[in-house]
Amino acid sequence: MEYFFYDDYSEGAHPKILEALSCSNLEQERGYGEDTISTQAIKLIKQKIGNPNVAIHFVSSGMQANVITLISMLRHHESVITPETAHINLDEAGAIEAGGHKINAVQTPNGKLTSADIEDVLARNSGEHKVKPRVVAVAQATEWGTIYSKEELQALSNCCKKNNLYFYIDGARLGSALTAKNADITLLELSQLADAFYIGGTKNGALLGEAIVVSNPELQKDFRYHIKQRGALLAKGRVLGIQFAELFKDDLFFDLARHANVMAERLKEAISIKGFSFLSDSTTNQIFPILPNTHIEKLKKDYGFHPYGFNPWPKAEITEDTSAIRLVTSWATTEEAVNTFIADFNNLT
């Protein structure tokens, strides 16, 4: 049977989450996120962050979190600076642009932005003939599985402060980034460096849902109006609260993400041992090996994964006979599946 390494949302939800949803099923609760469990979940997340001053709102998808938060930060003539490979730039059907805002997309190695990139965009966009950059948006982990170190995020945050820009972090895979072997940043530090970020649940064991964390008091004001106006204030907001309460009441959120990383690391090791290289230096749950096309064709018979025709950084290793693929592991990836993949991979000729 084919095993999927397509993405980290191929399965439903972690059993503890389903159980929590089922246990509270017949309890009557207030609507629109004002239920007791969502309130409890917010309290738990604030405790985990260690910052009582943040505001937390649940929405049902990563794209909602991005669009609602970014558009809440922007006036009509203002734009977002982000890496060219960012999800908001490539994979959100032009939602930011449809909201009336330009994206200043920057070509970056490994999907990561630097303060020099920001300064460069600012230098080329001054005065009212241009859009006015107002937000810097990066993803942690990035779309290429790489992560920013604390020092790098601090530098971006400083640059934003210096230039009166908001700093936003797309945390669709934040769990994976926080538990990566080279991670050195905490939720508390993120809440101090970014004006807003979100904690992704959909790709880390929740049935669906993301928790937007707004640190900047200026942005906290009226945030629920922005959610409502984009159709994202769920009458059954409890569904999101219950899941986040379960993820954060112990360390389930971190345990699940760590598992996904370990599974990816095993695949990465096995592929590296055979002498193959990777499109990016990922330490999280998405890896991008560059393999002979003949290997890829054989693997396709038993495994689901996406080919990566898009090669943003010219890589000498990619020739006519080789291609990059994306392998994604998740909270639900079994050791057995990884072991079988590795055994099959080792047998490829």
Ligand X SMILES: Cc1ncc(COP(=O)(O)O)c(C=O)c1O
**Which residues bind to ligand X, rule: CB under 6 A?**
61-63, 66, 87, 139, 143, 170, 172, 202
Minimum distance from residue 43 beta carbon to ligand X (Å):
25
Q: Give burial (CB, 10 Å; 0-12/13-18/19+) of 86.
A: buried
Q: Hey, which residues does 167 pair with through a beta bridge?
A: 136
Least separation in angstroms between residue 61's CB and ligand X is: 4
> What contacts 27, CB < 8 A, 6 or more positions away?
none
In Å, how far from its chain's centre is CA 216?
Answer: 20
Q: Which is nearer to ligand X, 62 or 133 (CB)?
A: 62
Considering the complex, what minimum distance in angstroms separates the CB of residue 170 from ligand X? 5
Which CB, 86 or 118, lies closer to ligand X? 86
Residue with tokens 């009458």: 235
Residue 90 or 131 with smaller CB distance to ligand X = 90
Cβ neighbours, 10 Å, residue 153: 22
Q: Indicate the residue among 48 and 87 with the shorter CB distance to ligand X.
A: 87
| Minimum separation from the CB atom of position 340 to ligand X (A) | 26
Comparing CB distances to ligand X, the nearer of 198 and 341 is: 198
Which is closer to ligand X, CB of 35 or CB of 170?
Answer: 170
Q: Based on CB atoms, which residue is closest to ligand X, 6 or 313?
A: 6
Q: Which of 315, 71, 333, 50 is nearest to 192 (CA)?
A: 50
Provide the minimum distance between the beta carbon of 93 and ligand X in the complex, in angstroms, as a whole number: 11
Q: How far is the CB of 147 from ligand X (least distance, A)?
A: 12
Nearest CA among 234, 174, 232 for reference residue 204: 174
Q: How far is the CB of 36 from ligand X (least distance, A)?
A: 26
Q: How many CA atoms lie within 13 A of 111 on its CB side?
A: 25
If the CB atoms of residues 7 and 255 are measured against ligand X, the closer one turns out to be: 7
Q: Determine the Cα–Cα distance for residues 166 and 160; give it in Å rounded to an integer.
A: 6
Residue 53 beta carbon to ligand X: minimum distance, rounded to whole angstroms? 25
